[in-house]
Amino acid sequence: MEIKTVGVLGCGLMGSGIAQVCAAAGYKTIVREVDETFLNKGLGRIKKFLDEGVAKGKVTAGARDTTLGNMSGSTTFDALKDCDLVIEAIVENLEEKQQTYTALEKIVNDRTIFVSNTSSLCITELAATTTRPDRFGGLHFFNPVPLMKLVEVIRALTTSDETYQTVFAFAESLGKEPITAPDRPGFIVNRLLVPYLLDAIRAYENGLGALEDIDKGMTLGCGYPMGPFTLLDFVGLDTTYYIANIMFEEFREPAYAPPPLLKRMVLAGRLGRKSGRGFYKYEV
Ligand code: 3HC
């Protein structure tokens, strides 16, 4: 199936990055947010990233203008009526996602493929809330979306071969490197990354070393771009806590159990970069 027009639900950190890469790849891209404030903030983030790319010599002014020209924003579902593919990147809440799919299914045509960028919810369960479980899959991007090459393509139990192949080819057309991941909590990357991050917190709680030394150990000793605490702050402690809980609930293995310190930091509102404080302090 040919994809020409792409809808993106949600213009937060992930949704704005996803909309940007779709528009940059030449797709007519319509991004939908719940209100003008969120929409303008998200569109502003895209423009800022592209402007910085021009200033760094990574993006030409022409490419920036073409990308922005391929994109439009809306607060209505109606604006998505001609989309061949809709990428959902709203809050990680099953009920809200379900309500959004139901609203959208009244607008789009029967052939439209839906994918979710969820990092933790069950794709088969999401697919089952729609009238198109065969035209539903997972497309999991990584933050920062315009810079990270990887995308995980997830098949629900019900995803048709045609949908899977279309979504995989679409991910490649964005200039990304797709991998096929199973519909299991954490898919491939978070299944390995989250226990590592939780382990770093447990080790820190047990007095392994200073935050900075553990981070330096993993960046300079292993060549990781960020140490575990810098990465935890970058991903968001609430996000990590949420994913860990879902993984623990499914597998019941201690490796996925969120450490007490993580829970308390989330309860205290120390969510990482976005809140100005996580393991480190930031200016917001
Ligand atoms: N436009 C275009 N290019 C840009 C740019 C922009 N606005 N800003 C930066 N770049 C380019 C830079 O020029 C540079 O290019 P080069 O390698 O050719 O020189 C490259 O992007 C890296 O940028 P910087 O040099 O400014 O920054 P860093 O070298 O510090 O890299 C980073 C930043 C890419 C975020 C790196 O620190 C990194 O990879 N961190 C790990 C991120 C990570 O693990 N993400 C996944 C999180 S898990 C997830 O998302 C899953 C979810 O479910 C939780």
Query: pLDDT of 14-27, one tens digit each?
Result: 999 999 999 999 99
CA distances to 3, 51, 58, 61 from 54, in Å: 28, 5, 6, 6
CA separation, residue 45 to residues 38, 68, 209, 237, 238 (Å) = 11, 12, 36, 22, 22
Measure 145 CA to ligand 1 centroid, in angstroms.
Answer: 9
Quick one: how far is CA 242 from the chain centroid?
Answer: 14
pLDDT at 166 over 90: yes
What would the pLDDT profile of 42-53 be if each residue is shown by its tens digit? Answer: 999 999 999 999
What is the CATH class of 5-181? alpha beta
Q: Looking only at Cα atoms, what is the longest distance across the chain?
A: 57
Query: What is the predicted pLDDT for the residue at 215?
Result: 98
Q: How many CB atoms lie within 10 A of CB 276?
A: 13
Domain ranges of the chain: 5-181, 190-273
Choose which residue among 13, 14, 20, 58 to substitute to test ligand 1 binding: the one with the highest number of ligand atoms within 8 A of its C-beta.
58
Pocket test for ligand 1, best of 16, 56, 152, 239 (most atoms within 8 A of CB): 56
Nearest protein Cα to ligand 1, atom 36 = 225
Tokens of 62: 């022409």
At residue 165, the pLDDT reads 98
Alpha carbons 105 and 213: distance in angstroms, whole number: 51
What is the second-level CATH architecture of the domain 190-273? Orthogonal Bundle (1.10)
Query: In the predicted model, is pLDDT for residue 1 greater than 90?
Result: no
The order of strands in the sheet holding 136-141 is 71-74, 28-32, 5-9, 85-88, 113-116, 136-141, 150-155, 177-181
pLDDT value at residue 36: 97
Give the C-alpha separation, 134 to 21, whole Å.
Answer: 25
Q: pLDDT > 90: what percent of the chain?
A: 99
CB 52 less than 6 A from any atom of ligand 1: yes
268 alpha carbon – ligand 1 mean position (Å)? 28
CA angle 117, 11, 121 (to 5 degrees): 25
State yes or no: pLDDT of 245 exceeds 90. Answer: yes
- For ligand 1, atom 43: residue with the closest CA: 143
50 Cα–ligand 1 center, Å:
14
Q: Are 266 and 241 in contact (CB under 8 A)?
A: yes
> 284 pLDDT exceeds 90?
no
Query: Alpha-carbon distance 114 to 99, whole Å?
Result: 14
- 152 — pLDDT class (breaks 50, 70, 90): very high
Whether residue 120 contacts residue 242, with contact meaning beta carbons closer than 8 Å, is answered with yes
* One-letter amino acid for residue 167 of the chain: V
How much is the pTM? 0.97
* Two structure tokens written together for 64: 């920036």
How far, in Å, is the centroid of ligand 1 from the Cα of 239?
19
Residues 132, 88: Cα–Cα separation, whole Å:
15
Regarding the beta carbon of 144 and ligand 1, being less than 6 Å apart is answered yes
- Residue 237, helix vs strand vs coil: helix
